[in-house]
Amino acid sequence: MDLELKDKVILITGGAKGIGAAITRACAEEGAIPAIVDRDEKALQEMASLLRDAGRQFHCISAELAQADECRRIVTETQKRFGRIDALVNNAGVNDKVGLEHGSPEEYVASLERNLLHYYNMAHYALPALKKAKGAMVNIASKTAITGQGGTSGYASAKGAILALTREWAAELLPYEIRVNAIVPAEVMTPLYRQWVNTFPDPEQKLKTVVAKIPLGKRMTSPEDIAAMAVFLMSERASHITGQHIFVDGGYTHLDRALT
């Protein structure tokens, strides 16, 4: 299936690691031009080397997304280099464990800065380019917004807001034919997830316990599973899909626990 993404410029936050890196690779494989934003210089260099070796077009931008001015710079730099932005993937974030009991008002605000505010800022500054392109936005959310997790008020509320903003922006941007959708992952094997598993006394047993609760295939969702949905949602093949929360989680969030 031709997703018609060739030479489309796709701006991806957190695009050098984990889910973001998988989306970057998938975009490049489809012939799109990923503009990769990450604060991890080493990861950016590794991604650049991978794409360069594959003969792909790309652009890497090192930035701290918590600052609104940096979000504006990212968009300006991308437009200056390529003259267009066809899609935005808001992905960067971290489950930072800022809870209600073990947290503070200051830590909570900082968590929102890490996980929510740059979604708005990036969308705001990229909007003029997206209007010209009749482009698309894909927001990466989390099942914590639906299920709760405990001990992570900042991250969960940020992801809940992202789901709300997805529908709000889909409604607001209808006149411009800009489609806005969210992907909701659950248990995805990324480096950050592995770090979390390794905090348990018996990491492999903890992982087996989690995997046993995933209905479809009794396996973790892969970053590539998320990336496949992301490139589809940005493509013309998804031209009549907007305002949707799409769960790519092997049935983890919604299917009956009796199945596992």
CA–CA dist 98, 112 (Å, integer) = 10
Among 14, 160, 192, CA closest to 92: 14
Query: Strands (DSSP E) along 52-146, which ranges?
Result: 59-62, 87-90, 136-140
Backbone angles phi, psi at 210, to 5 degrees: -65, -50
**Residue 113 DSSP code:** I
CA–CA dist 46, 205 (Å, integer) = 31
CA–CA dist 117, 121 (Å, integer) = 6
Q: Which of 119, 120, 125, 155 is catalytic?
A: 155
As a whole number of Å, the CA-based R_g of the chain is 18
Q: 3-class SS at 258?
A: helix
Catalytic status, residue 155? yes
Point out the residues that are catalytic: 155
